[in-house]
């Protein structure tokens, strides 16, 4: 019996890369050898399967949902780039806004006192944009609520807590103030009820009990809210500055930026009501409405949101934990997890990207795999951590290996000056005699601190092997000076 055939040879046969003689010998052998015949059938089947795999189309996925999640993950980073300049500008503007009415009021008071001898003028004070969710039928003995922070990313603050980890620990209750600069915070306060602050927002919790939830957006800000379907007869209202939004069980977002209020509704129905005139505009499912602060509501109408806009709206609410009974129940079943990744580096928890940079989030107790991005799209070796209920688990990815300053440039220049160019020319003389030019050879060179060659590899060339070896040997003869260790590539173009 002839020699057995290696499986890879069958693949070559399947691609027609075997000579006729070898082909006949291999097939003849397979006729006599049952094992080789089976290997042949399997390998040729696999080669055929490649074409089918290549032709496989993309499966249908929830494209809009994915887009929304991408938007959620990237928008905070995008805005962080604008943050430094804009945040300072916003603060200056707030100071100016606060000073102007004060100066005006003081001036007017002085005039009135001078004219009438007493009584301050009843000047309207600037009203911060507020979002108020208020059941119209107050419970007789409202039970105080406590919100649980489920996600904190980037630069965020809760009262005196000023890092994601501290924010995660603190409860959200009456009097709490949440602030984001370049980050996001998501707070859950029921099985299907949560709110999330977008970047550059400040929200204070004015009332937080079973009867009413009253949140106030201070200055500009973004607040996405989802409240569970209301009980029969129960109503909710949202006030935004001098306007009121009436909502029922719904998911919506209120945004106050640059002197305009934007209300977007994912599902349910929202009515934006002008407190002064009583005019109202309905914002229904998958609709949005943007109105300047002092503009009349009459004639305004909501416009449709596209599917990706709706999905983005829902995604902005952030994660929610399952099995909500109350905040303490979540404390008993979940575990806070803090990951301190380098700025801008994505973090994956159990294979899912949750954000970038310093992150704190709530996970269910148990084992989780934490991975940190080390370069674009490339995650380092993950770390398994075991989280226990109630106990904060900190994960600090090991710092990226510090690459010593490259001495490649110095070593490259040293090679260029020290190499025996005459010898190099001699190596390729036969080619030159034949008039063959435009050839090259690229070397990968490793030189240690003492100047000794660590390695010297030909990584790319179109020279014959003997010439390449000659050039390589010529370079190998170079005596490098002691100095910085370096690994570099050097290309000879002939």
Q: How far apart are CA 187 and CA 196, in angstroms?
A: 6
Contact flag: residue 471 with other proteins (CB under 8 A): no
- Total residues found in the chain within this entry: 494
∠ Cα 366 372 374 (to 5°)? 160
Question: In the range 198-227, which residues lie near other proteins by CB under 8 A?
Answer: none
Closest CA to 188 of 314, 312, 330: 330
Three-state DSSP class for 186? strand
Contact flag: residue 85 with other proteins (CB under 8 A): no
- Kindly tell me which of 224 and 327 has the beta carbon lying closer to other proteins: 224
Among 166, 226, 274, 373, binds other proteins (CB under 8 A): 373
Among 352, 391, 403, 465, binds other proteins (CB under 8 A): 352
Shortest CB 179 distance to other proteins, Å: 22
Question: In the range 256-315, which residues lie near other proteins by CB under 8 A?
Answer: 308
Helix, strand, coil abundance in the chain, percent, nearest 5: 30, 35, 35
Shortest CB 176 distance to other proteins, Å: 30
Contact flag: residue 100 with other proteins (CB under 8 A): no
Contact flag: residue 18 with other proteins (CB under 8 A): yes
- Kindly tell me which of 155 and 207 has the beta carbon lying closer to other proteins: 155
Contact flag: residue 58 with other proteins (CB under 8 A): yes
Shortest CB 89 distance to other proteins, Å: 17
Contact flag: residue 328 with other proteins (CB under 8 A): no
Contact flag: residue 401 with other proteins (CB under 8 A): no
Among 90, 159, 173, 379, binds other proteins (CB under 8 A): 379
Three-state DSSP class for 24? helix
Shortest CB 166 distance to other proteins, Å: 26
Contact flag: residue 25 with other proteins (CB under 8 A): no
Per-residue contact track with other proteins, 450 to 469, x per CB under 8 A? -------x-xx---------
- Collect all residues with Cβ–Cβ distance below 8 Å to 443 and sequence separation of at least 6: 456, 457, 458, 459, 471, 472, 475, 489, 490, 491, 492
User: Dihedral of the CA atoms 97, 101, 102, 103 (nearest 10)?
Assistant: 100
- Kindly tell me which of 78 and 235 has the beta carbon lying closer to other proteins: 78
Q: What tokens were used for 118?
A: 């007493």
Q: How far apart are CA 145 and CA 139, in angstroms?
A: 13
Contact 150, 186 (CB under 8 A): yes
């Amino acid at each position: 019996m002839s020699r057995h055939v290696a499986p890879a040879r069958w693949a070559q046969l399947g691609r027609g890369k075997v000579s006729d003689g070898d082909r006949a010998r291999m097939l003849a052998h397979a006729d006599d050898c049952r094992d080789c015949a089976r290997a042949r059938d399997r390998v040729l089947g696999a080669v055929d399967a490649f074409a089918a795999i290549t032709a496989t189309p993309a499966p249908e996925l929830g494209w809009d949902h994915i887009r929304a999640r991408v938007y959620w993950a990237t928008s905070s980073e995008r805005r962080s780039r604008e943050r430094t300049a804009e945040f300072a500008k916003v603060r200056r503007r707030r100071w100016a806004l606060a000073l102007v009415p004060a100066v005006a009021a003081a001036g007017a008071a002085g005039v009135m006192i001078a004219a009438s001898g007493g009584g301050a003028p009843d000047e309207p004070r600037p009203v911060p944009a507020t979002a108020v969710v208020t059941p119209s039928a107050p419970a007789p003995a409202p039970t105080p609520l406590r919100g649980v922070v489920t996600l904190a990313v980037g630069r965020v603050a809760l009262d005196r807590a000023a890092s994601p980890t501290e924010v995660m620990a603190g409860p959200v209750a009456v009097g709490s103030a949440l602030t984001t600069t370049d980050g996001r915070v998501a707070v859950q306060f029921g099985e299907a009820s949560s709110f999330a602050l977008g970047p550059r927002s400040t929200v204070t919790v004015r009332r937080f009990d079973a009867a009413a939830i009253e949140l106030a957006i201070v200055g500009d800000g973004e607040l996405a809210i989802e409240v569970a379907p209301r009980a029969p007869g129960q109503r909710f209202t949202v006030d935004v500055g001098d306007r009121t939004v009436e909502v029922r069980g719904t998911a919506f977002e209120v945004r106050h930026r640059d002197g305009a209020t934007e209300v977007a509704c994912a599902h349910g129905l929202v009515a934006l009501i002008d407190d002064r005139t009583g005019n109202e505009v309905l914002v229904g499912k998958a609709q949005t409405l943007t109105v300047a602060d002092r503009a009349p509501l009459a004639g305004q109408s909501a416009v449709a949101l596209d599917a990706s806009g709706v999905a983005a709206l829902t995604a902005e609410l952030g994660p929610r934990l399952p099995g909500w009974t109350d905040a303490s129940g979540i404390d008993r079943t979940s575990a806070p997890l803090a990951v301190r990744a380098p700025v801008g580096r994505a973090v994956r928890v159990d294979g899912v990207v949750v954000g970038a940079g310093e992150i704190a989030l709530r996970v269910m107790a148990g084992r989780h795999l934490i991975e940190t991005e080390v370069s674009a799209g490339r995650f380092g070796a993950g770390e398994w951590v075991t989280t226990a209920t109630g106990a904060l688990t900190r994960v600090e990815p090991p710092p990226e290996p510090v690459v010593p300053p490259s001495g490649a440039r110095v070593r490259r220049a040293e090679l260029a000056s020290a190499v025996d160019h005459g010898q190099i020319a001699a190596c390729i003389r036969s080619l030159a005699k034949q008039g063959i030019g435009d050839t090259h050879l690229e070397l990968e060179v490793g030189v240690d601190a003492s100047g000794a060659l660590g390695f010297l590899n030909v990584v790319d060339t179109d020279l014959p092997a003997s010439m390449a070896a000659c050039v390589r040997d010529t370079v190998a003869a170079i005596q490098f000076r002691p100095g910085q260790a370096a690994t570099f590539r050097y290309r000879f173009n002939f």
